[in-house]
Structure 1
Amino acid sequence: MRALVAAAIGLAAALAVVIALSALGPPSGSTSPKPLLTTVPSHP
């Protein structure tokens, strides 16, 4: 019985976190206009 109560509390807490984060909306910001510079390793 304790495990069931603990699982219900954990599920309610996780659901509350998801609802709180979705209520805040997406983070404000923008992407960089510069492309990422990556290097390809040379083949041996």
Structure 2
Amino acid sequence: MRALIAAGIGLAAALALVLAVTAIGAPPGETSEKPLHTTVPAHP
């Protein structure tokens, strides 16, 4: 029974966190037009 209560509390906390982040919204910012270039190290 305790496990069910703990799982319910955890689920409610996670849902509250998701709703809070959704309500606040994404931080303002810009995306770059340039793609990110990565290099793969060459093997000798």
- Shorter-chain TM-score above 0.5: yes
Aligned-pair RMSD on alpha carbons? Answer: 1.9
1:1-39 Cα offsets, whole Å, 9 max, x none, are 000000000000000000000001111000234443434
Structure 2 CA distance for partners of 1:40 and 1:2, relative to 1, 3 Å: closer
Q: Once the two structures are aligned, what percentage of the paired residues are identical?
A: 70
Would you say how many aligned residue pairs link Structure 1 and Structure 2? 44
Gaps of 5+ in 1: none
TM-score (norm. length: structure 1): 0.72
Counterpart of 1:24 in structure 2 is 24
Gaps of 5+ in 2: none
TM-score (norm. length: structure 2): 0.72
